[in-house]
A and B are shown apart, each in its own frame.
Chain A
Amino acid sequence: MIVTLAILIPMLGAALCVVAWGHIRTQHAIGIASALGLCAVATTLIYRTSVDGTQVVAMGGWATPYGIALVADRFSAIMVSLAAIVGLAVAIYSVGATARQRASYGHVPLVLAMIAAVCGAFLSGDLFNLYVWFELMLLSSFVLLTLGGERPQLEGAIKYVALNLFSSIVFLATTGVIYATVGTLNMAHLAERLDALDNPMLATSLGAPLLVAFGIKAAVFPFFFWLPASYHTPPPVVSALFAGLLTKVGVYSLIRATTLLFDQEQVYVGHAMLVVAALTMVTGVFGAVTQNDMRRILSFHIVSQIGYMLMGLGVALTLADTPGAEDAAALAMVGSVFYIMHHIVVKTNLFLIAGAVIRVRGTSDLKSLGGIVSTHPFLSILFLISSLSLAGIPILSGFWAKLVLVRAGLEAGAFWIVGVSLAVSLLTLFSMMKIWTRGFWGAAPEQAAPAGEQAGGLGLAMVYLPIVGLALITLAIGFGAPAIYDVAVAAAADLLDPEVYIRAVLPRAVGAIPEVVEGAS
């Protein structure tokens, strides 16, 4: 029941907003209320999954594997809570920072629909349903991206739409081929049947196009071009929402696919994943270094950070067949999960801060910024917390995430990827300090840039509230690292033992499941 609520609440909120079309304040209130409701559900979900184990809901009462199942293990629960946090921050920030006209076009219901779809993707226990949630998420994001219809938005949207649609089609076609080969779409059942094929090469070939499709969504190395071309074009609050959640759905799917479904040749996949992770980190950070606009720099950093998440996954996969390396593999997986938790909070906040900068200065171009420290010291401190955390300065959240990853890499003997990640870390610090010295430090430019749209005190408070909240969460992850680490360990344990997931969805013993009708073959 609680699993269903995670999707129902934002979906219902979106529907109510449509009913209240034209009443923008009501819509904002519904948005915040739904996000709060989702936070409550997510907290319950974390509690329930850690006490009672994996939660499974068979929709419509049809038993698995025939019906469509929603499954929440401890990893899903974490992802849903992160989505809830981002949703709440964005819902509050929208009140102060959404132009009236944009709000009247349905900004709030679209945000809620996207969050519902993201939660749906995190909870789906069925491959085809995952595709449907992906599409719902994409459609909401398409409209959010283009709402307002300014030229850069439209140009960015075309690149975004074309590449993401292509990935959806690859996903859909692969789903069809997988069904034709193994005759099921339920993910737990699929995991069993793919192993039962006893043909690792065939299973991996089925998985490969799926990894490409998820890779495009996650913006990994050869497929990331849509992200820096589009993320800086919509209003900052939309960028923040995208930056926090969209690519992470891709990463989530990559993790699920490689740990649960296509776990037949993990070592081989893991090595490929490590190469992709390294290239993603390096190209992302080099792209960021060459940019001069806050939001463009941050967009490229998303790409680079995705590399870190894949690094943990890759290291864990390469150790799958090594006896005695279970601890190192678990540590690497923990690193990935920890990194995702830290990244979603920090990245959303950095984009929100860029939005606040645009609000007070009218631009996020570093060439015409400067001296924010003297005019807005509080905002500068908030930026410093998040940016140093992103770079991985000790005791902030990013440091622990990177520490775990580096340690796992060293234990696994994957020294080259550790070296790459440390070098990329330095460059991240360099480009964060570039924003700091050029944008926040120094003297304000001679001719003061036209100030952005100024709103009343409540509007400004609504802009600062989520930024402060997310900065506090970053600090909490940093200072409370042991507690967060334990949560990540639990999630990683669920991920590394697919049996947990499979047995929760299909309680009957292997082989006792009646064949799905295959009369056609």
Chain B
Amino acid sequence: MMLLLAVSVGVLFATGTYMMMRRSLVKLVIGLALVGHAANLLIYTGARPLRGRPPLVETGESVPPAPFSDPLPAALVLTAIVIGFGIVSYTVVLVKRAYQDVGSDDLHDYTKTDCA
């Protein structure tokens, strides 16, 4: 399981970065989304989650029975997913507007703000 997660993180980072390097704006958005997922999965994997060991405290106890999964990374990932969703939605709209104005999906046509 951990191996699978680790490999997924690597594959997501690699494909995401590759997509971001392309000239197409749509691929840039896809790349950003993929790299974002990779980061989220990395946090989750890094905390070494255990299958079927939720951090639930039994009645009369003060600590959950060991070993248990650390709940904090899940909370972090949840926050990061929400932020990531907002940002990717914004980027999609931005790319659409830019495409309407410039009439091209190719970053090489986006030269108006370049330094002459």
Contacts and interface: CB of A to CB of B under 8 A. Distances in A.
Interface of A: 128, 131-132, 135, 138-139, 142-143, 146, 149, 151-152, 154-159, 161-162, 165-166, 168-169, 172-173, 175-177, 179-180, 185, 228-230, 232-233, 287, 290-291, 296, 517-521
Contacts of B28: 158, 162
Contacts, number: 131
Contact of A175 (B43, B49, B114): B43
A230 B28 CA distance: 18
B7 interface: no
Contacts of A296: 115
Contacts of B83: 132, 135
B52 to A, nearest CB: 13
B86 interface: yes
Contacts of B110: 155, 158-159
B6 to A, nearest CB: 12
15 contacts: A128-B76, A135-B87, A142-B94, A146-B97, A152-B112, A161-B94, A162-B28, A162-B32, A166-B35, A169-B36, A175-B43, A177-B42, A185-B72, A229-B113, A519-B68
Mostly, the A contact residues are: helix
Nearest to B36: A169
Interface of B: 20, 25, 28, 32, 35-36, 38-40, 42-44, 46-50, 53, 55, 63-64, 66-70, 72-73, 76, 79-80, 83, 86-87, 90-91, 94-95, 97-98, 101-102, 107, 110-115
Most chain B CB atoms below 10 A, which of A177, A230, A287: A177
Contacts of B32: 162, 165-166, 169
Given A154-B98, A158-B95, A228-B115, A142 B90 contact: yes
B80 to A, nearest CB: 6
Given A166-B35, A172-B43, A176-B46, A154 B76 contact: no
Contact of B102 (A154, A169, A290): A154
Contact of A179 (B40, B76, B98): B76
Given A173-B43, A176-B39, A179-B46, A154 B94 contact: yes
A165 B35 CA distance: 10
A158 B91 CA distance: 8
A268 B80 CA distance: 32
